[in-house]
Amino acid sequence: MRVALTGATGFLGTRLVRELLSRHGAITVLTRAGGADPVDRIARALHAVGTPEPRLAERLRVVEIELSRADLGLSAAAFRELADGLDAVWHCAGDIDLEASLSRVRAVNVEGTRNVLALAAAGRRDPLFCHISTAFVAGGRRTGVVYEDDLDGSWGFENAYEQSKYEAELLVHSWATAHRRPAVVLRPSILVDDRAPRPELPAHPLQAVTRAIEAILKQATPLDKVLLASTKGPIRLPGAPSAHLNLIPVDDAAAAMVELAQARRDRGVDTYHVVHHRDVTVADVQHALRDLSRTRFTLVQEVPVRMTVLEAKLHEHMPSLTSGFLPYLAHRRRYDDTHVRRVLGTSAGTTPIGAGYLLSGLRDSSRLAEITR
């Protein structure tokens, strides 16, 4: 079976490479033109997570593409040759910046998906299309149960990233209907890892949060640090104490995704919530951030009208944190994963996650404790 994968050098993509190579002799990685050597990046990442592949260079075929261009920026002949040699196309590449404008993320997440779908449509072997989406296509719905067959934009979206992924899913459905072809949509929740961050490993989303807080704390004055260390000076964040988040270890997610893609299908779209069977409380996230930064955080219903100096800096200088991530601290919705359980017999994520797990995966990603001393 001949398989192509976009986004192979990312946090999830490197794990998908490992899982796909465990089932196939070789895969084709579609990588951004002009970037660092993808084989070297993948090799270093796999070595860092304890699963080195000594024959990686022999088992990866690299094709440089431009995701947002028609025919992926390839010549007509090269595009046709690539398409005709594929039995499955995995689309994992995307722009995950929660601060980015809608026009920017659409260029990659929507138009990029359109162009990879065109590759799958052009192939004479009718390849299966596997699309990595996100559970957050549920958008602004903060309570209730989200089902795998739900695709409803009427709730609005917390950020442009969510909207772009919703629009990309619509494209996948239209493509499957128009071409009478099968497709798999895989919706992971927040991907995490308990391995200490290393330069050769792509960062996961919560590491971006700690780096944002680190940047703010670097601006703290000695008086700010005294206040932060006192019981009178917590940073107030908008959220709900009863909120919870669904986090899934990236290794669990990648293994489940490849297994789910093996399920037999003829046509239409099968959608799976690749989520953990148990949510993590926002309190656990608070505790991990507190232990990292020696800074107290407290949740309030709304953004404070009168902010402390550090709170003002947080909202002014880190919009990716305040407008991108903080809305999730008010989420109490749950993701149904009946389709996943029907195939796997269990949820995709079963590895226990708590404050200790989160701390292990974040502790070396920043120097928060040193900064607040």
- Please write down the long-range contacts of 306-313, taking CB distance under 8 Å and 24 or more positions apart: 307/236, 308/227, 308/233, 308/235, 309/221, 309/224, 310/216, 310/217, 310/219, 310/220, 310/224, 310/227, 310/228, 310/235, 311/235, 311/236, 313/216, 313/219
DSSP type of residue 354: S
- Read off the pLDDT of residues 249-289 as tens digits, 9 standing for 90 and up: 999 999 999 999 999 777 899 999 999 999 999 888 878 87
Torsion angle in degrees (nearest 10) through CA of 159, 160, 166, 172 = -150
Do 89 and 74 reside in the same domain of the chain?
Answer: yes
Within a domain: residue 343? no
Distance between CA 365 and CA 210 in Å, rounded? 7
The answer to whether residues 70 and 128 touch, using CB atoms and an 8 Å cutoff, is no
**CA pair distance 13, 87, nearest whole angstrom:** 19
Residues 30 and 172 in one domain: yes
Question: Helices 309-317 & 222-229, crossing angle to 10 degrees?
Answer: 100
Residues ≥6 apart with Cβ < 8 Å to 248: 188, 189, 190, 191, 192, 274, 275, 276, 348, 349
Domain identity same for 20 and 44: yes
> pLDDT band for position 227 (50/70/90)?
low
Question: What is the model's pTM?
Answer: 0.91
Do the domain assignments include residue 344? no
Q: Are 141 and 94 in the same domain?
A: yes
Residue 364 — very low, low, confident or very high, per pLDDT cuts 50/70/90?
Answer: low
Q: Are 371 and 211 in contact (CB under 8 A)?
A: no
- The whole-chain average pLDDT of the chain stands at 88
Q: How confident is the model at residue 228 (pLDDT cuts 50, 70, 90)?
A: low
Residues 215 and 258 in one domain: no
Q: Is 74 a domain residue?
A: yes
Alpha-carbon dihedral sign for residues 136, 137, 139, 141: negative
Please tell me the total count of domains within the chain: 2
DSSP three-state, residue 123: coil
C-alpha distances out from residue 137 to 133, 151, 327, Å: 8, 7, 14
Q: Which domain holds residue 309?
A: 203-245+279-332+350-371
Each residue of 134-167: pLDDT tens digit?
999 999 999 999 999 999 999 999 999 999 999 9
120 lies in the same domain as 265: yes
Three-class SS of residue 110? Answer: helix
Per-residue model confidence (pLDDT) at position 369: 46
Whether residue 340 lies inside any domain: the answer is no
Q: Are residues 289 and 262 in the same domain?
A: no
- 341 part of a folded domain: no
Tens-digit pLDDT profile for residues 197-214: 777 778 777 777 777 667
**146: nearest Cα among 127, 129, 166, 174:** 166
pLDDT number for residue 321? 63
Predicted pLDDT of residue 298? 82
Tell me, yes or no, whether 342 lies in a domain.
no
Amino acid letter, residue 227: L
224 & 292 share domain: yes
